[in-house]
Structure 1
Amino acid sequence: MENVSKINTNLILLGIVEMEHLRYLYATLAILIYIATMMLSTMIVYIVWSEESLHEPMYIFIGNLVVNVMFGNSAVLPKMVTDLFFGLSTISLPGCLIQSFCYQSFGSLELFTFTAMAYDRYLAVCYPLRYPTLMTNGRALQIVFAIFVFVFLSIGVTVVLAARLSMCGVNINNVYCETMSLLRLACGDTTINDIFGTIWTMTVVIGCILVVIYCYIRTFLVCLKISAEAYQKAIHTLVTHIATFFTFMATSLFVIFRYRLGSGSLSTIAHVAISITVSAASVRLVKQLSKEVTSIFNSRRRKTKIINDKKSSIIKKSREIFPPSRQFPVLLEDSAFGTGGKKRDEEGRR
């Protein structure tokens, strides 16, 4: 097979070619998904950023989650929309590597952030008295920073290993690039890539899933022992997190293992359907998170309004009982700042 990596650096996205007959419909669908995701995500980030009562570790992780969704969708959907509208279906090899890095980083960042959220809820429910010291805002930001550093370094190694290979094909059976797509086009030995990718993926995925399952089981068992009102509130938050996590994992695992099914197991149409499903799932994920954040935000605002109203009514009643003109007249006369105090000072000087 001829080495084409130095002859032609443009790769063909067969998924875009497959969508040509209904390209305007797919482009419109992609635009709607992208706009909906960006608007909901921006709203969540704005609420978490501007509302001081939401400056807590859980909402720091939720904010990081939706920022990652914006990052991942921006790596794929704008390029796909442009290709569909202008009838393009190619991508350069450097562009393919950059897109692979961004999209795979997005998936890994989401997985680690979900794991951090599960651990945060575990500490909040199982260790409520120690939680303010165990998980502070500063520690949550440190966890987020560590996640970004680890993911960017590990995905960077994966992309560098793919970039060193010589390509003997140009057809990518997908609508976007990822390193597994490039490995299928490689001429040389891909053993190192396969070993590193398999070990890293299995270790991270299995490790994170086990941590999440352990944290949520322990949290659920503790919720059974608390009061009915606290139980309902904790279970609602727990179910929301579990639903969003497994929605993400169901689509992600399918994407991860689809290339393990064999070269002829999935058609290009199946890859297109999977990609659209993943994008739609990200909208559902952000929608669930937005409902949770807005409901908690509105609940806290109502509580704050009730407290302020009670304070105002107490102050009003106190003023009715003790009008300003009748409050403490003796103290004013006898104080050092009153007229009685001034007279005594003058008599003392005489």
Structure 2
Amino acid sequence: MENSTEITSFVLAAYGNIGQLRYLYFTLIIIWYLSIVFINSALIVVIGMNRRLHEPMYMFLCSLLINEIYGSTTIYPCLMSQMFSDTHEVSLTTCFTQIICFYTSVSTEYCNFAAMAYDRYVSICYPLHYNVIMNSGKVYAIILLVWIYSIANFTFTVYFMAHWRFCGNVIDKIYCDIHSLHSLACSVPAASRIYGLVYAAVTVFVPFVLISFSYIKILIVCVKTSSEAKQKAVSTCAPQIASMINFAIGCSFDIVQSRIDVTHVPDKLRILLSVYLVVCQPVFSPVMYGLNLSKIRDACKRFLCDKK
């Protein structure tokens, strides 16, 4: 017989007893969080104020940068508040809300990459029809679809989770995640399992196919074009490819910890790997685009010079 009780809160056990180090950790977290907000906001402002950057590629980039701020905001304030908590306890509602926001951010990031890959595919493979195919209405519709799809998807996920009964309330991480709650559930209804499989297939497979198709087509075109055209294609695609690889690394760390027994890994290393996605990705993306795209570099220089 299952030993289930009415769970109203969860304990984030990975924090442990941090003692006086809480002040150091809090300072580092708030500095990093403010850096994420500043760097991403600065690029959004630069793109918004420069009419030359009001192109589909940079509109998708703005969506990505907004998502970096949104995703960080779902995790960092909770981390800071937990630094001064002795119990490291979060309510059921707070835990579910964090799951919705965090996984919505991850899904939005992934779908944004798919939209940006499609944009590069049209730009490189159909340059003469690019402005017709990727008109402003279509770009805004794609961005809106990316966000609505991600929010709706994980809202339904948590709706099914709300019907789970839990046999424990200790989460061995520093934030709430779906796998941890799944492992604590006494049983998972069949409808929830079916939805989980469908959601995983659609969420992962569809963007992956679009990204793969886009870059395979780009690669085929690049093989047949001149060296100058190849260099231009690489310069516009390189930041996105690098950002996608970093994103995949962060997701891999999270998946490995969810599926494989990593109790033999030192606690501090395990925590660092679990937050890699929310620590590195929000800064990695804007830095990669800011350094590699000449239009953004030039716009930043003009923006700074005009302020002097």
- TM-score, normalising length: structure 1: 0.78
Q: 1:281 to 1:218 in 2, by over 3 A?
A: same
Question: Match of 2:11, SS?
Answer: strand
Please tell me the residue identity of whatever aligns with 2:289: L
Q: Which structure has the larger Rg over C-alpha atoms?
A: 1
Q: Distance in 2 between matches of 1:105 and 1:195?
A: 20
Contact 1:75 1:99 survives alignment (8 Å): yes
Match in the other structure for 1:287: 287
Q: 1:24 to 1:87 in 2, by over 3 A?
A: farther
- Asked if residue 133 in structure 1 is aligned to residue 132 in structure 2, the reply is yes
Match in the other structure for 1:314: none
- Asked if residue 12 in structure 1 is aligned to residue 38 in structure 2, the reply is no
Question: CA offset at residue 18 of structure 1?
Answer: 5.8
Question: Match of 1:4, SS?
Answer: coil
Question: CA offset at residue 88 of structure 1?
Answer: 4.9
Contact 2:46 2:300 survives alignment (8 Å): no
Match in the other structure for 1:234: 233
Match in the other structure for 1:115: 114
Match in the other structure for 1:339: none
Q: 1:299 to 1:208 in 2, by over 3 A?
A: same
Please tell me the root mean square deviation across aligned C-alpha atoms, in Å.
2.5
Match in the other structure for 1:207: 206
Match in the other structure for 2:24: 25
Question: Match of 1:129, SS?
Answer: helix
Match in the other structure for 1:253: 252
Match in the other structure for 2:34: 35
Q: Distance in 2 between matches of 1:95 and 1:132?
A: 44
Q: Distance in 2 between matches of 1:261 and 1:133?
A: 48
Contact 1:20 1:84 survives alignment (8 Å): no
Gaps of 5+ in 1: 304-350
Give CA-to-partner distance per residue, 1:277-296, whole Å, 9 cap, x none: 22232222232123245x31
- TM-score, normalising length: structure 2: 0.88
Contact 1:55 1:137 survives alignment (8 Å): no
Q: 1:172 to 1:88 in 2, by over 3 A?
A: same
Q: Which moved more, 1:181-190 or 1:63-72?
A: 181-190
Gaps of 5+ in 2: 303-308
Question: CA offset at residue 173 of structure 1?
Answer: 1.2
Q: Distance in 2 between matches of 1:88 and 1:289?
A: 41
Q: 1:253 to 1:302 in 2, by over 3 A?
A: closer
Q: 1:123 to 1:19 in 2, by over 3 A?
A: farther
Identity %: 28
- Asked if residue 3 in structure 1 is aligned to residue 33 in structure 2, the reply is no
Question: CA offset at residue 211 of structure 1?
Answer: 2.1
Q: 1:142 to 1:266 in 2, by over 3 A?
A: farther
Match in the other structure for 2:275: 276
Q: Distance in 1 between matches of 2:95 and 2:84?
A: 20
Q: Distance in 1 between matches of 2:193 and 2:68?
A: 27
Q: 1:301 to 1:227 in 2, by over 3 A?
A: farther
Q: Distance in 1 between matches of 2:100 and 2:63?
A: 18
Q: Distance in 1 between matches of 2:260 and 2:208?
A: 22
Q: Distance in 2 between matches of 1:227 and 1:37?
A: 39
Contact 1:169 1:185 survives alignment (8 Å): yes
Contact 2:290 2:296 survives alignment (8 Å): no
Q: Distance in 2 between matches of 1:267 and 1:161?
A: 34
Question: CA offset at residue 260 of structure 1?
Answer: 2.3
Contact 2:12 2:89 survives alignment (8 Å): yes
Question: CA offset at residue 267 of structure 1?
Answer: 7.3
Match in the other structure for 1:307: none
Q: Which moved more, 1:163-172 or 1:122-131?
A: 163-172
Contact 1:101 1:155 survives alignment (8 Å): yes
Q: 1:118 to 1:223 in 2, by over 3 A?
A: same
Q: 1:298 to 1:266 in 2, by over 3 A?
A: closer
Q: Distance in 1 between matches of 2:266 and 2:188?
A: 25
Q: 1:187 to 1:95 in 2, by over 3 A?
A: same
Task: State the number of aligned residues.
Answer: 300
Q: Distance in 2 between matches of 1:250 and 1:64?
A: 21
Summarize the alignment of residues 1-350 of structure 1 with structure 2, pairs less than 5 Å apart.
Answer: 2-5=3-6, 9-17=8-16, 19=18, 22-261=21-260, 269=268, 271-282=270-281, 283-292=283-292, 295-299=294-298
Q: Distance in 1 between matches of 2:71 and 2:300?
A: 32
Question: Match of 1:11, SS?
Answer: strand
Please tell me the residue identity of whatever aligns with 1:289: Y
Question: CA offset at residue 171 of structure 1?
Answer: 0.3
Please tell me the residue identity of whatever aligns with 2:63: N
